[in-house]
Structure 1
Amino acid sequence: MSKLLEVIGELYDIKFGKKYIRKVQMDSRKVEKGDLFFAINNGKNYIEEVLKKEASLVICDDNKWKENSNVLIVENVVEAMQLIAREYRKNLKVKLIGVVGSNGKTTTKDILYSIISSKYSSKKTEGNYNNHIGVPFTILQIEEKDKYGIIEMGMSNFGEIKTLCKIAGLNYSIITNIGDSHLEFMLNRRNVFLEKSIVKNYVEEDKLLFFGDDPYLKSLKGKSIGFNDYNNYVISNYKLEENGILFKINEKDYKVNLYGEHNCINSALSIEMAKMIGMTDEDVKKGLENIEITPMRFQKILKEKIIFINDSYNASPVSMKYSLNTFEKLKTQKDKIVILADMGELGEKEMEFHIEIIQYALRKKFFKIILYGDRMEKALDKIENKDNIILFKNKSDIKNLINKEFKNKLILIKGSNFNQLWKIIE
């Protein structure tokens, strides 16, 4: 990554000589010879360790290393990473696609990457590295040979998307939807829309693609996709099959090995963005054959005759309903059980949202509904019909119940990540 070394040298007026950078790391355990290590937070405790591993360069804020030629001392490591990433991006010919939205960002990013990387050298945000640290870190993974980068961009408060856009220098952008996420800080859905839609100021109008059925997004100028006829790209004939979903976009047929209407939308956004950058329909369909989704996104896991659908990475009222709808429609002879846990960052209406989700689940034809978490417990007090509901205060009890009574069942696990529901599957 010679360009990156040049950028750092120019920014900090350093002549590196024969030094090189193999890869950029934030985790000391992953450092190999030639890597650049950003010592963020407690990373400074591992500087000696990464130098022994022959890291090419360490960037930290600890003056005790100022005499070491392999260490660059800065005032703020995160701000330095952002600055370096912004300048490095300016030196790259790569086209960057930003993915923004309340729900579906990670899955849309994964689908789009599967399509684009089947033809071009590309990079994507790994996991959920989508904040003020994750975005610059992702950009610093991009190599000079790469043609495209897919950058997931998240936020939890005002001004964050603008900061990320300034770092990323986007060429294209997708907005998946606007939901009731981060209301603890954003207060209402309109504020969420105003924050996320800021990406429109950083890409050309015809390079912005969004879900046009969303009541907020439909007001934007750009290219829209959705089930309604007023969209530029119209989704129709959606069908949930045993091995995935079938649908049309402007009368062209597509098949994807994912489940649910929400993944139909995520796939459609990815398909049309791939075409927007110049890929053919044949290219797109080839890329759709080998989709790899980040774990805990409606992930199917078989364990001891029990099929788990692990959708426990995160949760909001919108994503809860999407998951429950999809789960209800799955064709199976097995009884269906849902395990629902607390949703976070919903602000003053959080109890209202939890009551709504419990009531929504009760209207579905599920064998049993299991609730977990303090918010779900309080919401359950407001529910009159509790006959089909079991409340648990610890995950080990849920696990024991499943092992004793729910063998050979189909079980959906859904809740915000802080609940650590995935431990039930362990």
Structure 2
Amino acid sequence: MKTFTKLLKRYFQSLDRLENITVSNVRMDSKKVTDNSLFIAINNGNRYIEEAINRGASLVISDKPEQFSNHEKVIKVEDSVETLQELAKLYREDLGLKVIAITGSEGKTTTKDLVYGVLSKKYKTKKTLGNYNNQIGLPYTILQLEDDDEVAVLELGMSALGEIDRLSEIAAPNFGIITNIGDSHLEYLINRDNVFLAKTEILKYIDKNNVLVFGDDPYLKDLDALKIGFDKNSDYLIEDFVETYRGVEFKLNDKSYFIPLNGKHNSLNASFAIAMGQILGMNYQEIKDSLLDISITGMRFQKIEKEEILYINDAYNASPVSMEAALNTFLSLPIDKKKIVVLGDALELGEDEIKYHVQIIKKAIECDFSEIFVYGERMKKASDLIKSSKVKHFDSKVSIRENIKNLGSVAVLLKGSRGMKLEEIICD
């Protein structure tokens, strides 16, 4: 059984109350606390200290314990998040597994799922839980790893300079993947130069021979790292891309592969996974077979059929780059139906956000879809500037749903940022 008792003694050193306790798991949600849990109270988690103790927690760490300050099971710390991070860092040092860290503006989660899907066929592998990729989620994920895990595939997210540096310090990755440098988080980082600086903070923690990057990206093409891309000079060259309804066929370094995912961008994401499989000793057939049985986090170009309507739910998140990729993929998808696009706001794009939304709508117009529906205040401002009869703005998702119902046999792409929740348009 995994135990964190020695780890806690290392961190807190001479703390008498640790002598006679057993800690076998770490929890941040009081409802998931069981016997022998360490409950780390973060933010409003401090309100649930009593519940955690009643559920069997053997120890609680809190920076705001209030009436529980003197409770025998409660340790007061200056900062619960920092304590979580330091415990994860110490725990990672004790683990003998390989860590693959994935960052980039777009494609992190899908690449994570693909790398996990390949490697888990041969190795005992864990991956980031959901979107637990930030200053809290990543260390928490590390603390869920087991002693016999062989590989951990961790997603590193950020919204400011210095955050990838800290996450890399905690994760101590053996391998790194940078998917691209795009326009996500420009609200905080201002420009792509800063996005590049933020994402490449990971490099000082990994040997250059263990870093994979998208070599076609103008920001990444000159890095001293292994390049994956469509350029002839790539270390891993993607060619002969074919879009089918079921997924995409392509070649990587003259070897044929198929993935049950649509989009040219997903051939790139899959190529990162193929390369990692090769680096970690998997053969061609093992990798090829593993890609046929991939499970991807929901709302990533997910096909949902509702009577005559085919929904393509790509509404988990959005940026200008990912929206253009979604439009291109939808356009090339071989479907015998009229194609409708529903575009929601892309958030966190900074002062040029309307310019980006104008570009997205113009791209949709160029694709000549049967209908273009837009939703959100940014999309409204952009559509007002364009003044195209092809574009219809809606104030509510209910109105969009009712309009779609009246269109008969159609395929509908839903694409917008997480905050727009465009999946609510899908008819019950």
TM over 0.5: yes
Alignment of 1:356-375 (within 5 A): 356-375=359-378
Q: Is the 8 A contact 2:46 2:62 kept in 1?
A: yes
1:285 CA displacement = 1.9
1:102 CA displacement = 0.3
Q: 1:173 aligns with which of 164, 168, 176?
A: 176
Q: Is the 8 A contact 1:123 1:141 kept in 2?
A: no
Instruction: State the SS of the aligned residue for 1:363.
Output: helix
Q: 1:346 aligns with which of 346, 349, 360?
A: 349
Q: 1:208 aligns with which of 191, 194, 211?
A: 211
Which residue of structure 2 aligns with residue 107 of structure 1? Answer: 110
1:56 CA displacement = 3.2
Which residue of structure 2 aligns with residue 27 of structure 1? Answer: 29
Which residue of structure 2 aligns with residue 280 of structure 1? Answer: 283
Which residue of structure 2 aligns with residue 416 of structure 1? Answer: 417
Tell me how far apart the structure 2 counterparts of residues 127 and 338 of structure 1 sit (CA, whole Å): 27
Q: Is the 8 A contact 1:207 1:223 kept in 2?
A: yes
Which residue of structure 2 aligns with residue 43 of structure 1? Answer: 45
Tell me how far apart the structure 2 counterparts of residues 299 and 362 of structure 1 sit (CA, whole Å): 23
1:223 CA displacement = 0.7
Instruction: State the SS of the aligned residue for 2:228.
Output: strand
1:127 CA displacement = 1.3
Which residue of structure 1 aligns with residue 315 of structure 2? Answer: 312
Which residue of structure 1 aligns with residue 11 of structure 2? Answer: 11
1:50 CA displacement = 2.0
AA partner of residue 388 (structure 1):
K
Instruction: State the SS of the aligned residue for 2:292.
Output: helix
Instruction: State the SS of the aligned residue for 1:177.
Output: coil
Tell me how far apart the structure 1 counterparts of residues 168 and 3 of structure 2 sit (CA, whole Å): 21
How many pairs does the alignment contain?
424
User: 1:170-190, CA deviations, whole angstroms, 9 ceiling, x for partnerless residues?
Assistant: 110000001011111211111
User: 1:282-302, CA deviations, whole angstroms, 9 ceiling, x for partnerless residues?
Assistant: 221232122111111111222
Alignment of 1:9-408 (within 5 A): 9-13=9-13, 14=15, 16-17=18-19, 19-61=21-63, 62-384=65-387, 386-403=388-405, 405-408=406-409
Tell me how far apart the structure 1 counterparts of residues 354 and 54 of structure 2 sit (CA, whole Å): 52
AA partner of residue 314 (structure 1):
N
1:94 CA displacement = 1.2
Tell me how far apart the structure 1 counterparts of residues 31 and 66 of structure 2 sit (CA, whole Å): 23
Cα RMSD after superposing both structures = 1.5
Tell me how far apart the structure 2 counterparts of residues 19 and 307 of structure 1 sit (CA, whole Å): 55
User: 1:336-380, CA deviations, whole angstroms, 9 ceiling, x for partnerless residues?
Assistant: 111001111111211111101000000113111100000010111
Tell me how far apart the structure 2 counterparts of residues 115 and 34 of structure 1 sit (CA, whole Å): 34
Q: Is the 8 A contact 2:176 2:210 kept in 1?
A: yes
Give the gaps of 5 or more residues in structure 1. Answer: none
Question: Between the two proteins, what is the percent identity of the paired residues?
Answer: 45
User: 1:6-44, CA deviations, whole angstroms, 9 ceiling, x for partnerless residues?
Assistant: 111211124635643443222223333333222111111
Q: Is the 8 A contact 1:339 1:411 kept in 2?
A: yes
Tell me how far apart the structure 2 counterparts of residues 6 and 187 of structure 1 sit (CA, whole Å): 44
Q: TM-score, normalised by structure 1?
A: 0.96
Tell me how far apart the structure 2 counterparts of residues 348 and 104 of structure 1 sit (CA, whole Å): 24
Tell me how far apart the structure 1 counterparts of residues 49 and 307 of structure 2 sit (CA, whole Å): 44
AA partner of residue 153 (structure 1):
L
AA partner of residue 416 (structure 1):
S
Give the gaps of 5 or more residues in structure 2. Answer: none
Tell me how far apart the structure 2 counterparts of residues 241 and 402 of structure 1 sit (CA, whole Å): 25
1:55 CA displacement = 2.3
Q: Which moved more, 1:313-322 or 1:282-291?
A: 282-291
Tell me how far apart the structure 1 counterparts of residues 21 and 325 of structure 2 sit (CA, whole Å): 50
Q: Is the 8 A contact 1:106 1:294 kept in 2?
A: yes
User: 1:304-334, CA deviations, whole angstroms, 9 ceiling, x for partnerless residues?
Assistant: 4322111111111100000000011111111
User: 1:55-81, CA deviations, whole angstroms, 9 ceiling, x for partnerless residues?
Assistant: 233221214223433332212111110
AA partner of residue 422 (structure 1):
E
1:3 CA displacement = 5.0
Q: Which moved more, 1:372-381 or 1:192-201?
A: 192-201
